[in-house]
């Protein structure tokens, strides 16, 4: 996430230096949460969202900076009584989460990319019963024509669905595992691996996808796809998922090694 924030800062061209010397100062070092939350109200204006996508990117980057700083402060703090007033409360996080979903009206690819990251990072602070409402937007992106959107939607969706919802999107996940785009296949395979580890109900559903996983692996093994880092990772992730599925099947594991 730090790398993505750096990219956004370069995009908006913000650089500050101390008046006393040449030491660089982070442009978001003096942010106030109240002002950032006030700025985030722009998310509710569809016209401004379409006309000023870079402004929305900057606001989301600021929120992510505050959130990341709060997490880092919590990890290194030795005083249990200390309070980080820039940390987002669950109520604030939930409101921002739903506000960010309104940014899907913008066709700007940079804004869409950071929205996916934002939803993924902020989701743990929100009430799961509230967050699951946004799955309709993400499911729609899973079936769109843009591979980047399909892959990112899968990465976010895997963090917010439960076993009941997994059954509803099973068809889309199976299609993504054998998608013609290597980025989408990778995202689907890694997401499936995470889902498998979450709980037994998820593992039962994911095991039904073994045919698609084997197909994804064999496509790479047979050399039908253009070689490259992404394609190599498809085979690696497919093998990893198959090992999880066949972990207690010694004969199945032996056949997998022979392949």
pLDDT score recorded for residue 23: 62
Tens digit of pLDDT per residue, the chain (259 long)?
556 556 555 555 544 544 555 566 677 778 888 899 999 999 999 999 999 999 999 999 999 998 888 877 765 544 544 456 678 888 888 899 889 888 988 889 899 989 999 998 888 888 777 777 778 888 888 888 889 889 999 998 888 887 788 888 889 999 999 998 999 999 999 999 999 988 888 889 998 998 898 888 877 555 544 555 567 788 888 888 888 887 776 666 666 666 6
Whole-prediction pTM value?
A: 0.74
pLDDT score recorded for residue 247: 72
Residue with tokens 């990319």: 113
């Amino acid at each position: 996430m730090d790398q993505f924030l750096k990219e956004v800062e370069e995009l908006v061209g913000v650089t500050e230096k101390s008046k006393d010397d040449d030491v660089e100062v982070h442009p978001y070092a003096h942010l106030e949460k109240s002002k950032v939350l006030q700025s985030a109200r722009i998310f509710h204006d569809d016209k401004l969202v379409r006309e000023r996508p870079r402004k929305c990117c900057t606001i989301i980057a600021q929120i992510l900076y505050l959130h990341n700083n709060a997490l880092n402060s919590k990890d290194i703090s030795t005083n249990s009584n200390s309070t980080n007033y820039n940390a987002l409360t669950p109520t604030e996080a939930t409101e921002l989460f739903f506000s960010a979903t309104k940014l899907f009206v913008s066709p700007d690819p940079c804004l869409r990319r950071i929205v996916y990251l934002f939803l993924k990072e902020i989701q743990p602070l929100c009430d799961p019963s509230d967050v699951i409402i946004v799955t309709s937007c993400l499911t729609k992106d899973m079936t769109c024509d843009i591979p980047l959107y399909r892959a990112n939607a899968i990465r976010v969706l895997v963090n917010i669905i439960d076993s009941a919802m997994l059954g509803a999107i099973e068809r889309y996940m199976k299609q993504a595992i054998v998608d013609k785009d290597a980025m989408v296949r990778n995202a689907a395979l890694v997401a499936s691996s995470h889902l498998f580890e979450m709980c037994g109900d998820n593992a039962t559903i994911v095991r039904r996808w073994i045919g698609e996983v084997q197909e994804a692996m064999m496509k790479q093994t047979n050399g039908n796809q253009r070689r490259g880092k992404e394609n190599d990772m498809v085979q690696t992730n497919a093998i990893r998922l198959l090992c999880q599925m066949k972990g207690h099947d010694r004969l199945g594991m032996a056949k997998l090694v022979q392949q």
